[in-house]
Amino acid sequence: MRLGKQDEAIAELKAASGAPGDFPLADAALGLAYAVAGRMDDAKQIGARFRDVIAKRYIPPTYFGMLYAGMGDRDRAMMWLTKACAERADGLTWLAVEPMMDDIRSDDRFQELLEKLGLNKITKLPTESQTS
């Protein structure tokens, strides 16, 4: 998605996400793809769709955090990620390496959250040359 292939990513993610709320992680990734492509209105619609779905079913707050991080809304992203931490929600163990978090990685609040989770020592995954 961040390789300049946003249109391809959007098409794939739209096909994978299905009906609203069927696959919340795919929905969050679709929202991020829209944001990266500059389609902020479409990204915001994903957020609105999430809010409609949570009235009927649980969506981990981590997914909201990912969506808002991709949209560049650091305050909302951190609000949802803090809630995710309190709930021990799905997806927290990947925050240190999750590409969807790249836009807020430099935020002090994000770094504090990683420290609280014990993930602050992880900065990136080893490259293939480091593992061989």
Domain layout of the chain by residue ranges: 6-124
Average pLDDT over residues 60-82: 91
Please tell me the predicted confidence (pLDDT) of residue 1. Answer: 46
Q: Alpha-carbon distance 96 to 104, whole Å?
A: 11
Nearest to 61 by CA among 44, 39, 42, 78: 78
Nearest to 37 by CA among 63, 73, 11, 74: 11
For 86-127, what is each residue's pLDDT tens digit? 999 988 888 888 887 888 989 999 999 999 998 887 555 455
Q: Which two tokens stand for residue 110?
A: 């994000």
Res. 129: pLDDT tops 60: no
What single-letter DSSP state applies at residue 70? H
Please tell me the predicted confidence (pLDDT) of residue 127. Answer: 54
Q: Alpha-carbon distance 68 to 62, whole Å?
A: 10
